[in-house]
Amino acid sequence: MSDNDTQERFFRERRLLLGISVVLLAHQLLGITVGNSAETLGLRFEVADPSKIWWAVWAIWLWTAVCVVQQLNSIRPRSVYPEDRNEETRDRLSDRIAVHRVRRAAMKHLRFTVPRKLSPKFEIAFAVRSRADAPGGQLREYTCVNVAARWRCGDPNTAAEKAATFEAAMKKAGWEISGGSAGFERGECNFSRPVNVRIVPIRDERWVRVSATAWTLLSTSFVTDYLAPLGIAVAPIVVAAYQAAAHYCGLCSGVVR
């Protein structure tokens, strides 16, 4: 049986399971019952004990539930999970986090080294993603965050000095600096430094993985196709267990009195 046939059968069984589960929930929660008689194709049927019909409904529910679980196991939901969307979300989150962390550290350093009386202007923004070879033949991926600063000054050498101080502070934070520029123009000093932040430690953080998974589940049909139907199907069992427990507790309290 091909994968398409398996999925088609799963969706067919899923629809039947959802329908039966809704009927059972309507019976449990709304009190919908079956009458003593019914008429079909001009024939009238008398039902001696309508309550027994619900046992047949439960039997059909059980059979359908088993079929759905079997089909779901054949499909292997992990294989149809939108992993590409998850990876894309983790990468996007990693870039934003990298920019945020560099901005926080850079602004803390720059505000201390370039006082407000010099009318400083800072610009920190995502630049590009880059890759570089690492020892052992591995490939490292970086988020490049460009940090630019401009302020009033009278000494052309000040730009290079503050750029070197900034570079040392970023390296101390665990990031890499590659290239950049420093200059003096019209009474203003300026420098620009690209800060390279490794992606792997960020994208593997637990809350990044959880957030990416949550967004993937909410923004795709994976939940509604494969997970939500099982939740609805389990609901009649939960309600039945609750009602049985409530009935048992009622009987116990009656005995105690």
**Per-residue pLDDT at 106 exceeds 60:** yes
pTM over 0.85: no
Mean pLDDT of 209-223: 92
**How do strand 37-40 and strand 138-152 relate by DSSP bridges?**
unpaired
What is residue 39's predicted lDDT score, i.e. its pLDDT? Answer: 54
Handedness of CA 140, 178, 151, 118 (dihedral sign): positive
State how far the Cα of 241 lies from the Cα of 244, in Å rounded to an integer: 5
pLDDT value at 134 more than 80: no
Give the whole-angstrom CA distance, residue 108 versus residue 233. 54
d(Cα 186, Cα 188) in Å, to the nearest integer? 6
pLDDT > 90? residue 29: no
Q: Which of 225, 224, 249, 247 is nearest to 11 (CA)?
A: 225
What is the distance between the alpha carbons of residues 15 and 62, in angstroms, rounded to a whole number? 14
Q: Which two tokens stand for residue 57?
A: 């409904």
Q: Indicate if the pLDDT at residue 226 is higher than 90.
A: no
The stretch 159-171 carries a mean pLDDT of: 94
